[in-house]
Structure 1
């Protein structure tokens, strides 16, 4: 079986604009200064809870659990719903169709909570490609713990897979799961590509099907 598992934010979709808007709506409600889009991009990758923690730190709020829970609930209220400013990266839909035609089974492993994950997948038509999905609240563990990635593999019935992601969290997750990793270099990473452990790298989605074909030709030979 040729199995490919994807990250979501910063890999398949650029969701930073909607996350940025939701964060600043919370801050405006609280009478606090706004954060920039670039700050928001840097906060993405470890789930909504961590994003809100980083948002709080950025505006000088103390790390108080009760306050964090309150602001996280407000953030999710603003964020859940149709993704109005999120976009699919160029070439994604064509690449997924080509992978499907190649006989690849596909799945998703993300730290985004389940509700907005399902909404985004349906909104963009990505759901028809994903045979198994692990969201940020599917398991007690989150990436970079390898448990969610292994969970997707089990659901797909895959003995081996290639993981595709964009960030330090994804690189760490793939290494922890001992899974080959393809790095999409145009996402939310903060580290130079050469400093992130990866087996493959690509800067446009039209390059991924050929990369996947070469990978499985080598391991299945």
Structure 2
């Protein structure tokens, strides 16, 4: 039914990173650029879901250079996540074994750092399943390009040589980005999304990755 498939990473293939780790990395970044005691709300703002306006507002408050601070923040965030993977604190979901059944080109588009995504794929021997992988580069521009913007999905589709693809994600922004790129979306309702109400409608809603091969073959997923 589809010529290719593209996956989100965190919350779909790999487990989510603990929020406390995000906050610690943000504090590390402030300390690295000379801000010893940042306000809690600024640490929170730089922990997850960062936008360009938020970044500029925080940097203006402390007199920081946004590109320099953001590169520092992303580097430290990637290092902490890589360490969590090495310690076994951030793993993969059991149903990633469904990747073995894929019979068409696959890619990844994540809003996490490219360095984090690549490290995890190598650590869990998953890189062999994918022809193209996009995470964010450590630049301010990447915040404009990340989901729900379609930019990285469009790049992946170009690499895969098709616009006939399915995007599999676990968030509303995943569905929005897929639709903005002109492709269908499958929403994976992992336990961390159990009570979430979407304001957008994915073409499929599934409990896990075991349903993906059926969807690709044009069959209704068992959990839809």
Quote how far apart the aligned CAs of 1:150 are: 1.1
Secondary structure of 2:94's aligned partner: coil
Q: 1:212 to 1:22 in 2, by over 3 A?
A: same
- What is aligned with 2:200? 196
Two-structure CA RMSD over aligned residues (Å): 3.6
- What is aligned with 2:189? 185
- What is aligned with 1:117? 117
Quote how far apart the aligned CAs of 1:169 are: 1.2
Secondary structure of 2:11's aligned partner: coil
Runs of 5+ consecutive residues of structure 1 not aligned to the other structure:
217-221
The answer as to whether partners of 1:166 and 1:187 remain within 8 angstroms in 2 is: no
Quote how far apart the aligned CAs of 1:197 are: 1.7
- What is aligned with 1:108? 108
Runs of 5+ consecutive residues of structure 2 not aligned to the other structure:
none
Matched residue count: 198
Q: 1:22 to 1:199 in 2, by over 3 A?
A: closer
Q: Which residues in structure 2 correspond to 1:153-164 (within 5 Å)?
A: 153-164=157-168
Quote how far apart the aligned CAs of 1:163 are: 0.5
Q: 1:123 to 1:70 in 2, by over 3 A?
A: same
Please give the alpha-carbon distance, in whole angstroms, between the structure 1 residues aligned to 2:191 and 2:51.
Answer: 18
Please give the alpha-carbon distance, in whole angstroms, between the structure 1 residues aligned to 2:10 and 2:63.
Answer: 26
- What is aligned with 2:100? 97
The answer as to whether partners of 1:167 and 1:187 remain within 8 angstroms in 2 is: no
- What is aligned with 2:78? 79
Please give the alpha-carbon distance, in whole angstroms, between the structure 2 residues aligned to 1:210 and 1:171.
Answer: 19
Q: Work out whether 1:144 is the aligned partner of 2:145.
A: no
Q: Work out whether 1:206 is the aligned partner of 2:210.
A: yes
Please give the alpha-carbon distance, in whole angstroms, between the structure 2 residues aligned to 1:214 and 1:150.
Answer: 23
Please give the alpha-carbon distance, in whole angstroms, between the structure 2 residues aligned to 1:25 and 1:111.
Answer: 16
Quote how far apart the aligned CAs of 1:88 are: 0.8
Quote how far apart the aligned CAs of 1:105 are: 1.1
Q: TM-score, structure 2 length as denominator?
A: 0.71
